């Protein structure tokens, strides 16, 4: 199994990795996933092309529907571990924090305006 990529779309394929002695049955599906770490990003898979590069008479005559997928030369399967929950702020939290700060600033400004007007009124009254 050889995985090659053409990131720039120029039909220049670069080998990503190769695994030998891989047995895959027919009528299965390939799944793709990507992770970038702490930063979120979009990954678009534009197209996937699969080719059988080498073939012999033995492969043409065998029934591949009953093959159990395996790759003896591959690394053993790792245990699934969930990503740690980051203590980062979500966009919604930041939005509400900014709205709260704007409301506080407007409230302080309006309060200061009324306080100054009230003091001005009290200074001009003579009893």
User: Would you call 23 helix, strand, or coil by DSSP?
Assistant: strand
- pTM of the shown model: 0.36
Q: Scan for tokens 């690394």, then name that residue.
A: 75
In a domain, 82, yes or no: no
The CA distance from 21 to 36, in Å, is 30
What is the pLDDT of the chain when averaged over all its residues?
77
Q: Scan for tokens 């779309």, then name that residue.
A: 9
In a domain, 80, yes or no: no
Indicate whether 15 pLDDT > 80: yes
Do residues 48 and 35 make contact, with C-beta atoms less than 8 angstroms apart?
A: no
Q: Do 66 and 99 have their domain in common?
A: no
In a domain, 116, yes or no: yes
Per-residue pLDDT tens over the stretch 77-95: 778 887 777 666 778 888 9
From 34, 52, 75, give the residue that closes a domain: 75
In a domain, 26, yes or no: yes
Host domain of residue 109: 90-126
Q: Do 7 and 37 have their domain in common?
A: yes
């Amino acid at each position: 199994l050889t995985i090659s990529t053409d990131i720039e779309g120029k039909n220049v394929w670069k080998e990503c990795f190769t695994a030998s002695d891989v047995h895959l049955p027919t009528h299965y599906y390939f799944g793709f996933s990507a992770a970038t770490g702490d930063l979120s990003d979009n990954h678009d898979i534009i197209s996937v092309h699969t080719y059988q590069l080498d073939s012999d008479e033995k492969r043409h005559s065998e029934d591949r529907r009953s093959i159990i997928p395996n790759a003896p030369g591959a690394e053993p399967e790792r245990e699934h571990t969930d990503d740690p929950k980051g203590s980062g702020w979500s966009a919604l939290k930041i939005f509400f924090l900014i709205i709260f700060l704007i409301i506080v600033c407007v409230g302080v400004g309006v309060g200061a305006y009324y306080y100054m007007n009230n003091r001005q009124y009290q200074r001009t009254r003579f009893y």
